[in-house]
Amino acid sequence: MRTISHFVNGQTLEGTSGRFGDVFNPNTGEVQARVQLASDAELDAAVQAAAAAQIGWAATNPQRRARVMFEFKRLIERDMNALAEMLSSEHGKVVADSKGDIQRGLEVIEFACGIPHILKGEYTEGAGPGIDVYSMRQPLGVCAGITPFNFPAMIPMWMFGISIAVGNSFILKPSEKDPTVPVRLAELMMEAGAPAGVLNVVHGDKTAVDAILTHPLIRAVSFVGSSDIAHYVYQTGTAHGKRVQAMGGAKNHGIVLPDADLDQVVKDLSGAAFGSAGERCMALPVVVPVGKKTGDELRERMVAEMQTLKVGISTDLDAHYGPVVSAQHRAKISDYIRIGVEEGAELVVDGRDFALQGFEKGFFIGPSLFDGVKKGMKTYQEEIFGPVLQIVRAETFEEALALPSEHQYGNGVAIFTRNGKAAREFASRVNVGMVGINVPIPVPVAYHTFGGWKRSAFGDTNQHGVEGVKFYTKVKTITARWPEGDHEGDAFVIPTMK
């Protein structure tokens, strides 16, 4: 059976902990590989390699670092099909979704290619008599990222792309559920021209996470995962003097006003709620129709739309989504559906009994739809992270606005309407970090920034865009005055090329 090892200092590092995790093929339910789980010693070896490499990498001028990013982008595009198939085989998402995963990460790499311009500081001439003031952004040193299973290409590239471009070295601790693509990304970064040790991959569980959060040489940690763990990462990392951004869970709402284009809304909801089996922090698992007529019509059309969805293996080009990542996660989703029924919500479509012929042991679950969900229900308050859409009805605009605003999570929200005034007011007042107007999954483009509010994010700086550059750099400000002196002789010489 294939063993997935760590990647440290530009080469494979065999683990010595004696601990392994199983890597499944979600389509068949079979174990296809095992991944080594790091000890403190292996994490320290990666940090030492990163620290040694970072000094020379930081001294490399930004234009040369950008050239490595350009070449890395080219290599990813060259290997897109192979990477997508590799990703799908471990995660379970269909190949089209895997390509989207890679492409959205690649867009941040494209942003990082412009790092020479972004790193330019500020300058004030004559701030005082003969005094000039200027600033510069410098790298932090060794940084680390802890990433989830649902986007094993995109989220790592969101983190290490900017971190490396500004002059840091990086330790990536990907999910142990789908670790092969992150290793391949590190190999391609070396092929692109990054020095050995600039990007390292260490696999692991809580042992590796705690080692990252407490290691004295790691200056910053970026995390994406559940909110409880995000809170733990933030508290532990900051207690050890690190800069931390920790992105947590979500319960994104889609508000549907009576004037919305329901044909488009239903299509958007289908992709946003069930695409990638709902395993996305920016999925849209809650729809809030305003008014009974809107709710009744939306429900009817949604049921008809769900009947057209095809669940299939990840390589099925006609499938809308594939299996979830593990048997445990499938069981968790099924349990939430059971709880929803017990809480009194109406289960309109039940996907728990779905089975795919020939792949009965795969981790498949059909799309499900609830109506009559109330805000006090556990299944509404918590993140299900699966192909389950909940209808929470509202009578007025104000009631609809209050639902996402008062929820514990504040990652993303969408409003569907033809009314510009209503959309503008909603976007201004809603207590959520990212807003879509007739856009169901409002993930910002790479040169803007990604981040939620409330229990969806811990820390003050968002991911990618200029905010990402700020997170991975520190500002130095210089105030300079040059005394008058003798300019004769060698005291003032313009250097020449010799």
- Taking only the tens of pLDDT, the chain with its 498 residues reads 899 999 999 999 999 999 999 999 999 999 999 999 999 999 999 999 999 999 999 999 999 999 999 999 999 999 999 999 999 999 999 999 999 999 999 999 999 999 999 999 999 999 999 999 999 999 999 999 999 999 999 999 999 999 999 999 999 999 999 999 999 999 999 999 999 999 999 999 999 999 999 999 999 999 999 999 999 999 999 999 999 999 999 999 999 999 999 999 999 999 999 999 999 999 999 999 999 999 999 999 999 999 999 999 999 999 999 999 999 999 999 999 999 999 999 999 999 999 999 999 999 999 999 999 999 999 999 999 999 999 999 999 999 999 999 999 999 999 999 999 999 999 999 999 999 999 999 999 998 999 999 999 999 899 999 999 999 999 999 999 998 765 555 554 555 654
Q: Which pLDDT belongs to residue 497? A: 56
Name beta bridge partners: 30. 25
For strand 409-410 and strand 11-13, is the pairing parallel, antiparallel, or unpaired? unpaired
Distance between CA atoms of residues 88 and 28, nearest Å: 12
Are 229 and 282 in the same domain?
no
Q: Where are the beta strands (DSSP E) in 26-174?
A: 30-36, 123-128, 131-139, 142-146, 169-173
Q: Are 464 and 108 in contact (CB under 8 A)?
A: yes
Strand order in the sheet with 123-128: 123-128, 131-139, 473-481
Domain shared by 262 and 288, yes or no: yes
Sign, Cα dihedral of 442, 445, 448, 454: positive
The structural domain count of the chain equals 2
CA distance 479 to 493: 23
Tally Cβ neighbours within 10 Å of residue 437.
15
369 shares its domain with 421: yes
Domain check: are 233 and 266 in the same one?
Answer: no
Q: Note whether 385 and 403 are same-domain residues.
A: yes
397 contacts 422 by C-beta, under 8 angstroms: yes
Give the pLDDT of residue 483.
Answer: 86
Quick one: which of 48, 128, 93 has its CA closest to 83?
A: 93
Residues 259 and 393 occupy one common structural domain: yes
The pLDDT value given to residue 487: 55
DSSP string computed for 163-224? HHHTT-EEEEE--TTS-HHHHHHHHHHHHTTPPTTSEEE---SHHHHHHHHH-TTEEEEEEE
Phi, psi of 124 (to 5 degrees): -125, 115
CATH number, residue 34: 3.40.605.10
The reply to whether 363 falls in a domain is yes
Residues 351 and 232 in one domain: no
Q: What is the CATH number of the domain that holds 423?
A: 3.40.309.10
CB 410 within 8 A of CB 455: yes
How are beta strands 286-289 and 218-224 bridged, if at all?
Answer: unpaired
Contacts of 424 (CB under 8 A, 6+ apart): none
Instruction: Give the Cα separation of 181 and 198 in Å (integer).
Output: 17
Q: Which residue in 16, 232, 222 sits closest to 6, CA to CA?
A: 16
- Is the same domain home to 259 and 240? no
Distances (CA, A) of 208 to 4, 48, 172: 16, 15, 11
d(CA 61, CA 188): 21
Specify the pLDDT at position 64: 97
279 occurs within a structural domain: yes
Decide if 487 is inside a domain: no
> Would you tell me the crossing angle of helices 180-191 and 62-78 to the nearest 10 degrees?
130
Cβ(277)–Cβ(321) below 8 Å: yes
Q: Are 302 and 266 in contact (CB under 8 A)?
A: yes
Contacts of 314 (CB under 8 A, 6+ apart): 26, 27, 88, 89, 91, 92, 93, 94, 95, 98, 322, 323
Answer yes or no: is 9 within a domain: yes
Same domain, yes or no: 324 and 463:
no
75 occurs within a structural domain = yes
Residue 159: C-alpha distances to residues 5, 256, 338 (Å): 21, 34, 37
Strand runs (DSSP E) across 392-458, as ranges? 409-410, 412-416, 434-437, 453-454, 457-458
Q: Over the stretch 97-114, which tens digit does the pLDDT of each residue have?
A: 999 999 999 999 999 999
Residues 86 and 190 in one domain: yes
Domain that holds residue 418: 253-437
Partners of 480 in the β-ladder: 132
Cα dihedral sign for 149, 151, 155, 156? positive
Judge if 204 and 280 occupy the same domain.
no
pTM: 0.94
Helix (H, G, I), strand (E, B) or coil at 454: strand
All residues at 6 or more sequence positions from 244 whose CB lies less than 8 Å from its CB, including other chains: 220, 221, 222, 223, 233, 234, 237, 238, 458, 459
d(CA 407, CA 453): 11
In this predicted structure, what is the pLDDT of residue 496?
61
Same domain? 148 vs 8: yes
Domain assignment of residue 484, yes or no: no
Amino acid in position 401: L
Q: What is the distance, to the nearest Å, from the Cα of residue 484 to the centroid of all Cα atoms in its chain?
A: 54
| Phi and psi, residue 293, nearest 5° | -60, -45
Helix, strand or coil for residue 236? helix
Whether 71 is in a domain gets the answer yes
Does residue 70 sit within a domain? yes
pLDDT, residue 486, reads 55
Q: From CA 330, how far away is CA 381, in angstroms rounded?
A: 19
Furthest-apart CA atoms within the chain: distance in Å? 91
Which positions are catalytic?
281
List, in sequence order, every residue forming a beta bridge with 351; answer none if it has no partner.
none
